[in-house]
Structure formats: structure tokens, C-alpha cells
């Protein structure tokens, strides 16, 4: 029952994300801000930043909220400044207790992600196509890596970091990501040359590295 609920929730969430992507404007910028806030919350929680460095964590949250305002008002240069100032402030505030670096990492990790999403989408058709290209790669990579890894098993990709991930899952996930990226490019542009699968492969690998990085932080 819980597994079915998770699948249904995932489908609904995917539809909402795609709807916001197609509409663009304030709707997608709001989505980017929501993703940024959730990323910062998760990263701060798994690194225990509120306890290890409460002042640094508070500065990090202020920076993220300021970044959110600047993203929503389409001021990317101000958002970038808020991320850098907040990250540096978190480092200085937490240096005495050793938690400032994690708080700063949370600001940079979440802030750059949210700002990048908003700026890539932008207002035109190219941004829409770019986001569909990225989403297709990331989603295909995650889904195939999960199901193929569970079905095929085999050698572990990084047993000390994430015992559940396997080489078979990683390879099939990367192949699926490339296939999804090429498929979107063919639908949108009728081609794209050799650069399309190469970019798709890089994005797919980056997605898997991001998952491993988060698993490493949790441990």
C-alpha cells in the first residue's frame, strides 16, 4: 500500500513540476525556490547544523530566504550575492564550533541549485526545452538505476557510502539518461549531433554523483 502511494505521489508531483515548467514565469521560479528551501532544510538536518552551529545555521537560512526573494523578483545578481555573503558568513560564524563549513555548504548547494533552475528556465522556449531535457535525463537515470539495480544486483558501486547502489544500476541508469536526453532532443530539434548524447551522459553521471555525495554526507 505504501509503495503504491509513493508511486502515485511521485506521478502527481511529476505532473505538477512539468506543469510549472511549461507555464514558466513566477510559477517556475516559485518551484525553484521551493526546491532550494527543501534542499537546504534536508542538508542542514542531515549534518545536524542547528545543533552543531546554530548561529551559522541561522545565517544560512537568512541567506536562503534572501536568495528566494531575489529569485522570485528576477534579480539573479542579487541572489548570487546573497548566496556568497551567506556562505561566507556561515563559515565565519561557525568556525569556533566546527559546523560553519557544513552550513556554508548547505547555502551554496541549495542556493546555486535554485538559482540555476530559475535561470535555465528563464522566459523563452529555449529555457523550456532545456529544462525538459534536464528533467528527462535525471528522472530516467534515477528510475532505471533503482529498478535495474534491484533486479540485476551485482557488484556494489560504493559500498561504504551507499550499500544499495550497484554498478549495474549505475550503468543502466546512465544509458537511460542518455536515451531520454537524445529522445527529447529529437522531438524538439530533430537531432543535435554528437554533443547531445555527450551532454546527456555528463548530466546523468552528475546526477548519480550528486546522489552519492548526499549519501556520503548522511554517513
Spell out the per-residue pLDDT of the chain, length 219, in tens: 555 655 677 778 888 888 999 888 999 999 999 999 999 998 888 888 878 888 888 999 999 999 999 999 999 999 999 999 999 998 888 766 556 788 888 899 999 999 999 999 988 888 899 999 999 999 899 888 888 877 777 777 777 777 777 888 888 889 999 999 999 888 887 556 778 899 999 999 988 888 777 777 766
**Burial letters 58-77, b for 16+ CB under 10 A, else e:** bbbbbbbbbbbebbeeeeee
Cα dihedral 12, 18, 24, 27, rounded to 10, equals: 10
pLDDT tens for each residue of 158-203: 777 777 778 888 888 899 999 999 998 888 875 567 788 999 999 9
- pLDDT confidence of residue 38: 94
Q: Is 212 exposed, middle or buried (0-12, 13-18, 19+ CB in 10 A)?
A: middle
SS3 assignment, position 192: coil
Amino acid at each position: 500500500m505504501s509503495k503504491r502511494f509513493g508511486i502515485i505521489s511521485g506521478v502527481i508531483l511529476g505532473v505538477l513540476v512539468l506543469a510549472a515548467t511549461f507555464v514558466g514565469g513566477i510559477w517556475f521560479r516559485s518551484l525553484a525556490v521551493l526546491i532550494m528551501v527543501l534542499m537546504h532544510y534536508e542538508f542542514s538536518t542531515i549534518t545536524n547544523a542547528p545543533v552543531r552551529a546554530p548561529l551559522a545555521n541561522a545565517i544560512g537560512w537568512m541567506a536562503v530566504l534572501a536568495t528566494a526573494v531575489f529569485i522570485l523578483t528576477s534579480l539573479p545578481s542579487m541572489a548570487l550575492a546573497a548566496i556568497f555573503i551567506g556562505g561566507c558568513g556561515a563559515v565565519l560564524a561557525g568556525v569556533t564550533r566546527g559546523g560553519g563549513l557544513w552550513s556554508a555548504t548547505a547555502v551554496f548547494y541549495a542556493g546555486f541549485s535554485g538559482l540555476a533552475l530559475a535561470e535555465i528556465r528563464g522566459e523563452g522556449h529555449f529555457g523550456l526545452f532545456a529544462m525538459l531535457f534536464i528533467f528527462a535525463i535525471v528522472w530516467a537515470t534515477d528510475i532505471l538505476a533503482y529498478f535495474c539495480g534491484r533486479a540485476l544486483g551485482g557488484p556494489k558501486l560504493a559500498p561504504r557510502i551507499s550499500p544499495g547502489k550497484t554498478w549495474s544500476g549505475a550503468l543502466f541508469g546512465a544509458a537511460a539518461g542518455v536515451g531520454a536526453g537524445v529522445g527529447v532532443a529529437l522531438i524538439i530539434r530533430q537531432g543535435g549531433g554528437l554533443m547531445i548524447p555527450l551532454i546527456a551522459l555528463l548530466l546523468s553521471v552528475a546526477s548519480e554523483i550528486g546522489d552519492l555525495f548526499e549519501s556520503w554526507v548522511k554517513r
